[in-house]
Amino acid sequence: MSKRHHVFELPVRVYFQDTDAGGVVYHASYVNFMERARTEWLRSFGYSNAQLMKELGVVFVVRSLKLDYLRPALLDDMLTVTAQIREVGRSRIALHQTVQRGEEKLVDAEIHLVCVALETFKPVSVPEVLREQWKD
């Protein structure tokens, strides 16, 4: 399997701050979990967000996200948050992400990122150093 098709996994513990008064994970907390996973996923290709901004003058921004909440996560759960490339365009990346508790899928998501120039926030090509790693 190519590195592009590899499913990146990040373990995440549910803390009190992630939940509502009943100990159920608040819906927006899943977005934060997935953001953390995408940040670490990017690091797995050798770049942090800070490096992209400083060295290449670009940043990836969320254009759209679609989340399907299937089951709730609870206080103290140990979760696995995944990230996997689905498609790479000129300036766009489509990712599939999940949040799981063991084998049980809790959230299924499609995320579309756009690579933009840091100075103008206009779309630019995905850096070749990343594109090369994301080839089939």
Amino acid identity of residue 107, one-letter, is V
pLDDT tens for residues 63-111? 999 999 999 999 999 999 999 999 999 999 999 999 999 999 999 999 9
Contact 110, 134 (CB under 8 A): no
* Structural domains of the chain in order of their starting residue, each with its CATH number: 3-133 (3.10.129.10)
pLDDT tens for residues 41-65? 999 999 999 999 999 999 999 999 9
* Token pair in block for residue 62: 């969320």
Per the annotation, the verdict on 68 as an active-site residue is: no
For the cut 90, the answer to whether the pLDDT of residue 5 exceeds it is no
Contact 25, 72 (CB under 8 A): yes
Q: What is the pLDDT of residue 4?
A: 59
Choosing from 18, 20, 76, 136, the catalytic residue is 20
Contact 82, 9 (CB under 8 A): yes
